[in-house]
Structure 1
Amino acid sequence: MSKQIWVSPRSKGWAVKSAGKSRASKIYQTKAEAIKAGRNQAINSKAELVSQKRNGQINLKNSYGNDPMPPRDKD
């Protein structure tokens, strides 16, 4: 999937950012708020939502686009 929406930690909260963009669309106080906004953005743009922990590790990936059926790794 080419489009991604990232939820990443910042010093003053959590950022929601589209992959390839230089700036976050918005900074939220809590991770829950950021994930909710990121999920809505991913659904609207048929993209993948990727969320990170405070240490930078990816802890969530959800796809809201055109997924192959069945998934390629589940032949």
Structure 2
Amino acid sequence: MSNKNVETYFEDGTWKNRITGNSRASNTAPTKAEAQAKGRQMAIDRSTEHVIKNMDGQIGNRNSYGNDPHPPKG
């Protein structure tokens, strides 16, 4: 499995998911919630991070589903 992150983003009026570094989307969804759910499952399956972007392209949230290099303390 690759350790590249999964990215959920908005482009051309559609929410999409892709593996970081790929130019093409892996899948699309009509809503952000549906795209996030698909992206989350992709990240879990790949044991990597899920980067969720806002409509403007800025990172809105990040969730790690793999070996976190900076785990929470305590």
Partner Cα distance (1:54, 1:65) in 2: 26
Percent identity of paired positions between Structure 1 and Structure 2:
42
- Match for residue 55 of structure 2? 54
- Match for residue 21 of structure 2? 20
| CA shift digits 1:33-66 (9 cap, x unpaired) | 0000000000000010001111111111000001
The normalised TM-score by structure 2 is: 0.85
5+ unaligned residues in a row in structure 2: which ranges?
none
Structure number with bigger Rg: 1
Residue 67 of structure 1, CA deviation? 1.9
| CA shift digits 1:8-56 (9 cap, x unpaired) | 1012210100011120011110000000000000000001000111111
SS of equivalent to 1:61 = strand
User: Which consecutive segments of 4 or more residues in structure 1 shift more than 3 A?
Assistant: none
- Residue-pair matches, total: 71
